[in-house]
Amino acid sequence: MRQNVAERVGKRRAALRAAGLRPVQIWVPDTRREGFAEECRRQSLLLREDSQETEILDFIEASMDTKG
């Protein structure tokens, strides 16, 4: 007899927990939301002349692995 979805999910989650894993819920920005791109642009423009941002970006560029 087939298991219902809740039973299958429960069994899968129990197996994952037995393997030493735990569930984590992550909330991320909704990139489909109206105004998202505009807000990204606004924040990016605020950082354009920031000396710390420039320093960090220079460090990241110098540290990049461009050969592998």
pTM: 0.53
Asked whether the predicted pLDDT for residue 68 surpasses 90, the reply is no
Contact criterion met (CB below 8 Å) for 30 and 36:
yes
pLDDT at position 10: 94
pLDDT tens digits for range 20-54: 999 999 999 999 999 999 999 999 999 988 989 98
Extract the tokens encoding 32: 């489909």
The greatest distance separating any two alpha carbons of the chain, rounded to the nearest whole angstrom, comes to 65
